[in-house]
Structure 1
Amino acid sequence: MEIIVQNEVLILSALRAIYWPRKKALILADMHLGKTGYFRSKGIPIPSTVLENDLQRLSLLIDTYQPEVIVVAGDMFHHDYNADIDYFHTWRQLYNSIAFVLVPGNHDKLLNIDYQALGIKLTEKKHCLDPFTIIHEPGSNADTFMISGHIHPGYAIAGRARQSLRLPCFIVGEQQMILPAFSLFTGLYTGHQAIDTNSYYLIGNDAIFKI
């Protein structure tokens, strides 16, 4: 779905990212690479296919939009270096021509030498891409329009027969956009849907619809 934000065309993808045509940039948040490996190291059996599926979706986004840069609005990684990061490193070799830019989040704890080896440029906590500011955690009273992640936004839909469904979503407000968590191995937070000035773009069945 195409939307206009700050006079810029942005394409919302049901694969949990946005594409900014003018900058040839994919923007996403909360990949949490290494999370499955971290859980396995604690004796919790999480299948490796979780990571594989996330990277397959990213490959599909790259094949679809042919971006020149991928900007991650924080929490690209989940914890310290583990075997999952080696898997990502191998995948990364397929896309050496694409720049990766990471605006650091609270989970991004790799060493600078690791980011360099992975071909990832680390920015300050706020990264200006005029007319937007990319930041990990949503805020308020910003001088520019912010694009962030962190809260893993979702939207709860209730049916007449008391059934309910929670879907990941993009939240677009007057001064900020909050991206859905890119990784499928995350929860959903629905507390923001009470804000009347927000628009909610829900992801369901590989499609996007506005509430």
Structure 2
Amino acid sequence: MNAYHVVYVQGIELWLLADKAIYWPEHKALLVADAHFGKAAAYRKLGQPVPHGTTASNLLALDRMLSGYETEWLIFLGDFLHAPGSHAPTTLAALQAWRERYPALRITLIRGNHDRNAGDPPEQLAFEVVAEPLLLGPLALQHEPDPHPTAHVLAGHVHPVFHLYGRGRQRLRLPCFHLGERVSLLPAFGAFTGGYQVDGSLGERIYVVGDERVWPVTAARSAKGSRASAENAE
């Protein structure tokens, strides 16, 4: 299996990446949803015992994609920062140091619900911040997965995950890309995020991410909800 899977949406070639993002070759663009930078810091500020290192792991994943795919434009589909508490000095210093390594990279943030609460990224990060939708050809880039009247929507917000079932009651819960007829969802990019289980209804496609791979699965409805055999992932 490859570290990416090529799909076509409205005739547009998109690469679904194992790092839970989309590469759009036509625009040399990376699309990332729901990074939630500073979420762990915000929780620790509230006294919650949560893991350290999530900002560093997210930035390493961005570095890996930027070095692996010719990228001129990085687009965040909302929820770049998690909350007002995400403006912790250590989080902002790490983001600033990362930004200084890519001074020529165009970065756009499409505001999501958490961005409206957390506030825009600091000016020194040099982000272009816009409201949804960002229309590019036949696609509408958004945070909220609301259908657009004329364009196919690529969105985040939902944090889609899918359950794979195998023999012996084995079950895997994996982040996934969920491609629908009018709206398609990206998995949450952030290392410290939850997930919402989705299924594969008629006309929809699901691609799960795990073990540095991306692969399609065939969903089948059952009394227990959506299922897919582990053999589909081999």
TM-score range, shorter chain: over 0.9
Q: Structure 1 residue 186: deviation in Å? A: 0.8
Q: 1:153 touches 1:181 (CA, 8 Å); kept in 2?
A: yes
Aligned-partner residue type, residue 164 of structure 1: R
Q: 1:142 touches 1:175 (CA, 8 Å); kept in 2?
A: no
Give the secondary-structure state (helix, strand or coil) at the position aligned to 1:39: helix
Find the aligned partners of 2:119 and 2:80 in 1 and give their Cα distance: 13
Find the aligned partners of 2:150 and 2:162 in 1 and give their Cα distance: 27
Match of 1:21 among 25, 32, 54: 25
Match of 1:53 in 2: 57
Matched, 1:107 2:118: no
Find the aligned partners of 2:157 and 2:118 in 1 and give their Cα distance: 18
Describe how 1:44-193 pairs up with structure 2 within 5 A: 44-80=48-84, 81-83=87-89, 84-108=91-115, 109-111=117-119, 114-140=121-147, 142-190=149-197, 192-193=198-199
Instruction: Flag as ranges the 4+ runs of structure 1 deviating above 6 A.
Output: none
Q: Structure 1 residue 111: deviation in Å? A: 4.3
Match of 1:206 among 212, 216, 219: 212
Find the aligned partners of 1:48 and 1:100 in 2 and give their Cα distance: 26
Unmatched 5+ residue regions in structure 1? none
Unmatched 5+ residue regions in structure 2? 218-234
Q: Structure 1 residue 130: deviation in Å? A: 1.4
Aligned-partner residue type, residue 132 of structure 1: L
Find the aligned partners of 2:112 and 2:123 in 1 and give their Cα distance: 17
Find the aligned partners of 2:142 and 2:155 in 1 and give their Cα distance: 5
The structure having more radius of gyration, on CA atoms, is 2
Aligned-partner residue type, residue 182 of structure 1: F
Identity %, equivalent residues: 33
Give the secondary-structure state (helix, strand or coil) at the position aligned to 1:95: coil
Note closer, same or farther for the CA distance 1:161–1:142 as it changes in structure 2 (3 Å cut): farther
Aligned-partner residue type, residue 44 of structure 2: R
Note closer, same or farther for the CA distance 1:72–1:146 as it changes in structure 2 (3 Å cut): same
Match of 1:196 in 2: 202
Aligned-partner residue type, residue 175 of structure 2: P
Match of 2:46 in 1: 42
Give the secondary-structure state (helix, strand or coil) at the position aligned to 1:196: coil
TM-score by length of 2: 0.85
Count of residue pairs the alignment pairs up: 209
Find the aligned partners of 1:161 and 1:202 in 2 and give their Cα distance: 21
RMSD, aligned α-carbons: 1.5
